[in-house]
Chain A
Amino acid sequence: MSAITVRNLRVVLPGSKAAVVDGVSFSIAAGKCLGIVGESGAGKTITGRSLIGLTPAGARVTAEELTVAGVDARDLTEPAWRRLRGARVALVSQDALVSLDPLRRVGAEVAEPLAVHEPGLGRADRSRRVLQLLGQVAVPEPAFRARQYPHELSGGLRQRALIASALAASPAALIADEPTTALDVTVQAQIVLLLRQLKESGIALLLISHDLAIIRKLADDIAVMKDGRFVELQPTAALFAAPQHPYTRELLASISQSLVPAPPKAAPVVLAARDLTKTYGPASAPLRAVNGVSFELRAGHTVGIVGESGSGKSTVARMLLGTETPDSGDVLLNGEPWSRVPESRRRARRGGIQIIHQDSLSAFDPRASVLQILSEAIALDGSRSVRRERREQATRLLELVALNDSLLGRRAHQLSGGQRQRVAIARALARQPRLLVCDEPVSALDAPIQTQVLGLLVSLQQTTGLAMVFISHDLAAVRALSHDILVMKNGIVVEQGPAVELFLAPQHPFTRELLAAQATA
């Protein structure tokens, strides 16, 4: 019997005529997994949300059939949905740091579905169940973890706790919306394993992800979604063996694609890091965030820094930017001292080094339009330009990043993830930098968009001779762009060398581990 059956599901959001989900049909049997893959905005999340009655307020959901765990879920009232949610169908969403209430203890969060659906359960019984659940999802020391707050747990443990909370009231179906996106590669693999065990224990799993590699490891069937429709729905093996739709083929190509960087040429050294060391914490228990990192970066070249979170990548980035002073060692920018001079002497040279963050949404003033964001950056280079001129310059910047001027009036939250990152790049380019530091610039983007943005960075480098520092936990992205690669672990560079050699013959076990994790992905 199917745990979830959906026939001709349509969802229309308020204030729009077009359906965001347009005639989708599928069913998931107990113990099976359907993966939905597609770009953001394809309607994946809304499809998942309509199975749990959490579509945005005012959305119109219609279907010929919508059966969730044996219940006809068409036109359910809110109280009826509440009886279903958590008890019959549960939701695990992306990034447990924001998906768990940060002000409540992990145990209370895990216990909430029990408190809602089994109010008769005594306090002692409930906490015993919480420990059981945490044990079931392999959280070590469950009694200790239950008393901690979400921010005190690592990303992987948080996600496990979120899953435990979803399982608390023994639902028959689980909707996992990008459950591994915010995690490191190795932790991703562990969560995938956990989800597989759940599936094998009889839960019907709807897995939503932009990452085809993750879906491939879990799903029995895969639906490829684009513009609100399933363009293809096939058993996993068949989809990979014989993709029917051109969009599926494009998706498949994007996971193996590698952008060949331009051949290095003789060029001046833009940035040199010499034996950078940074220690945090009290002298009694020092934490070596970065220990002895050295490299040189020439114009038109890219150096990639890869490692898991906590490996010291971002600390290196901050030292390169001069927002953090190394304890020892030195950064030279264009051959002149950079990290050891006072900020007043750096300020005039700041325009030459720019950064792109992972989350450009929070790097923009939410009230500012794209025009204002870009104008501000243009005005910073000292030239007091008139309004019309600034508009022209902003348009030119957008053209550089392959956007057109129709976006000038939009605010950051009205842009798609890819557009936002392009605007962030345009803003960085406004000051005509010679060096761009990219800290996880594409990690928040869907695979096809990632490829586009990476391609944009490569072509910008070829036309302008930009030097780039590219920081990522994603080996594939680093591989696509970098001429030289540093592999970091616990603040130390465990391996360093030209990209080609590093991939052909990795020396350090950790590099091999990373490569292996990527290969199975």
Chain B
Amino acid sequence: MTLHYGQVRGADRPGARLFGRLGGMVLVVWGAATVGFFALRLIPGDPVDALIGLGSVSAQVRDQIREDWGLADPLLVQYLGYLGRLVQGDLGTSYRRQQPVADVIGQQFPPTVQLMSLALVFALLLALGSALLGRGRRTAPLAGLLELVAVSSPNFWIGLVLISVFGFGLGWFPVVATAGFGALILPAVTLAIPVAGIISQVLRQGLDDAEALPFVDTVRARGASHTRLVLRHTLRHAAASSITLTGYMVGSLLGGSVLVETVFARPGLGRVALNAIVDRDVPVVLGIIVLAAAAFSMVNLFVDLVFERIDPRLATEQAYA
């Protein structure tokens, strides 16, 4: 009876659920924009200094600049103005580069997305390999050790080690290059390793947990081999627990890309963010915050949808709530 009821509600409400989630995304972006806006006002110093850079100008010119950029208005007016422009897709104008923030971010977005996507693919492949191979009596301790090293190694250190070994030492990959797929590999691996360590840990644990479930006996009683058991059954259970984590890891990849882009002297959002913070280029920093919030909630929406595909019970359970 209850099952039937779950199915009915699950079937007629996916539209409403998706709508609710999109609403949630808007809230997250709005929240990030708001917190970012006010937090950045707390930075000591006059934004006008950031605008004029190193030169010195008269007090009259300073007032004029303040007037032009709307910095003389009350904070609330500035905030509402910012939100109003944000809704129209206008992220404002960079203090430093005197060009629209959307353009600044837009130019630097593709290299970072390439880096993060490749890093995510590497991380998943590494994690999958280590989780599948690292479950034997002898390999498990080794895999555990590798994971621990991977998780506890800072990005910049991994980057430097990889550069010296594969760049300078073996000469397999370019040390400093900004174009081409080859230039992308070392940075992506650098970014991927700590993430792979965490995902691998969760995946291995998930496989172990799944193998303790009662249905495993049934599968083995059908004559299935261990390989079949893992690939057709338990890996799916383990993936269900790892996929949520992978969503969060995307956030950590974005943070890591700041370091990796600096170490490898690559262009990208991370370096733009770093420079913008150093220069107190508030609109650019805020633009990146908003973009990160939007990307992060989008990834999590995607993760939720994938999760439901993997675990059909979830769609039914959520219908109860």
**A504 interface residue per 8 A CB criterion:** no
**A99 interface residue per 8 A CB criterion:** yes
- Chain B residues with CB under 8 Å of A310's CB are 1-2
Q: How far is the CB of B211 from chain A (nearest CB, A)?
A: 11
Q: How far is the CB of B210 from chain A (nearest CB, A)?
A: 9
User: Are B5 and A281 touching (Cβ within 8 A)?
Assistant: yes
Count contacts on A: residues with CB < 8 A to the other chain. Answer: 39
- Chain A residues with CB under 8 Å of B218's CB are 91, 93, 99-101, 162, 165
**B217 interface residue per 8 A CB criterion:** yes
Closest A residue, CB atoms, query B236? A103
In the complex the two chains form, what is the Cα distance from A95 to B228 in whole Å? 23
User: Are B214 and A93 touching (Cβ within 8 A)?
Assistant: yes
In the complex the two chains form, what is the Cα distance from A282 to B233 in whole Å? 35
Near A by CB (< 8 A), chain B positions 7-42 give 7-9
User: Are B220 and A102 touching (Cβ within 8 A)?
Assistant: no
Q: How far is the CB of A132 from chain B (nearest CB, A)?
A: 17
- Chain A residues with CB under 8 Å of B217's CB are 54, 91, 93, 99
Near B by CB (< 8 A), chain A positions 153-202 give 154, 162, 165-166, 168-169
Among the 9-residue stretches A65-73, A77-85, A341-349, the one with 4 or more Cβ atoms under 8 Å from chain B is A77-85
- Chain A residues with CB under 8 Å of B221's CB are 52, 54, 85-86, 90-91, 166
- Chain A residues with CB under 8 Å of B278's CB are none
User: Are A103 and B1 touching (Cβ within 8 A)?
Assistant: no
User: Are B223 and A98 touching (Cβ within 8 A)?
Assistant: no
* Chain B proximity mask over A134-149: 1 for CB below 8 Å, otherwise 0: 0000000000000001
**B313 interface residue per 8 A CB criterion:** yes
**B76 interface residue per 8 A CB criterion:** no
The verdict on A113 contacting B233 (CB below 8 Å), with A98-B213, A154-B3, A310-B2 known, is: no
User: Are A103 and B237 touching (Cβ within 8 A)?
Assistant: yes
Q: How far is the CB of B73 from chain A (nearest CB, A)?
A: 49
Q: How far is the CB of A480 from chain B (nearest CB, A)?
A: 28
**A458 interface residue per 8 A CB criterion:** no
- Chain A residues with CB under 8 Å of B312's CB are 102-103, 149, 151-152
- Chain A residues with CB under 8 Å of B237's CB are 103
Interface core residue of B3, B219, B313, B316 (most chain A CB under 10 Å): B219
In the complex the two chains form, what is the Cα distance from A46 to B257 in whole Å? 55
The verdict on A85 contacting B223 (CB below 8 Å), with A152-B3, A287-B5 known, is: yes
**A1 interface residue per 8 A CB criterion:** no
User: Are A90 and B222 touching (Cβ within 8 A)?
Assistant: yes
Closest A residue, CB atoms, query B313? A151
**A283 interface residue per 8 A CB criterion:** no
**B102 interface residue per 8 A CB criterion:** no
Of the residues B5, B214, B228, B313, contact of A149 by C-beta under 8 Å: B313
**A87 interface residue per 8 A CB criterion:** yes
Q: How far is the CB of A207 from chain B (nearest CB, A)?
A: 16
User: Are A113 and B223 touching (Cβ within 8 A)?
Assistant: yes
Near A by CB (< 8 A), chain B positions 277-310 give 310
* Chain A proximity mask over B165-207: 1 for CB below 8 Å, otherwise 0: 0000000000000000000000000000000000000000000
In the complex the two chains form, what is the Cα distance from A52 to B222 in whole Å? 10
* Chain A proximity mask over B152-164: 1 for CB below 8 Å, otherwise 0: 0000000000000
- Chain B residues with CB under 8 Å of A100's CB are 215, 218
In the complex the two chains form, what is the Cα distance from A149 to B224 in whole Å? 20
Q: How far is the CB of A156 from chain B (nearest CB, A)?
A: 12
Closest A residue, CB atoms, query B8? A285
Q: How far is the CB of A201 from chain B (nearest CB, A)?
A: 20
In the complex the two chains form, what is the Cα distance from A287 to B9 in whole Å? 12
- Chain A residues with CB under 8 Å of B213's CB are 98
The verdict on A83 contacting B223 (CB below 8 Å), with A103-B236, A152-B316 known, is: yes
In the complex the two chains form, what is the Cα distance from A418 to B62 in whole Å? 84
- Chain B residues with CB under 8 Å of A162's CB are 218
**A503 interface residue per 8 A CB criterion:** no
**B240 interface residue per 8 A CB criterion:** yes
Q: How far is the CB of B299 from chain A (nearest CB, A)?
A: 23
**A117 interface residue per 8 A CB criterion:** yes
Q: How far is the CB of B11 from chain A (nearest CB, A)?
A: 11
In the complex the two chains form, what is the Cα distance from A95 to B9 in whole Å? 26
- Chain A residues with CB under 8 Å of B219's CB are 101, 112
Q: How far is the CB of A292 from chain B (nearest CB, A)?
A: 17
Closest A residue, CB atoms, query B310? A103
Closest A residue, CB atoms, query B7? A152
Near B by CB (< 8 A), chain A positions 455-487 give none
User: Are B1 and A287 touching (Cβ within 8 A)?
Assistant: yes
User: Are B222 and A112 touching (Cβ within 8 A)?
Assistant: yes
**A104 interface residue per 8 A CB criterion:** yes
Of the residues A91, A103, A151, A165, contact of B316 by C-beta under 8 Å: A151
User: Are A98 and B214 touching (Cβ within 8 A)?
Assistant: yes
- Chain A residues with CB under 8 Å of B223's CB are 82-87, 113, 116-117, 169
Chain A interfacial positions (CB closer than 8 Å to B): 52, 54, 82-87, 90-91, 93, 95, 98-104, 112-113, 116-117, 149, 151-152, 154, 162, 165-166, 168-169, 280-282, 285, 287, 289, 310
14 contacts between A and B (CB under 8 A): A85-B223, A91-B221, A93-B214, A93-B218, A95-B214, A102-B215, A103-B240, A104-B232, A104-B236, A149-B312, A151-B316, A280-B2, A287-B1, A310-B2
Chain B interfacial positions (CB closer than 8 Å to A): 1-3, 5, 7-9, 213-215, 217-225, 228, 232-233, 236-237, 240, 310-313, 316
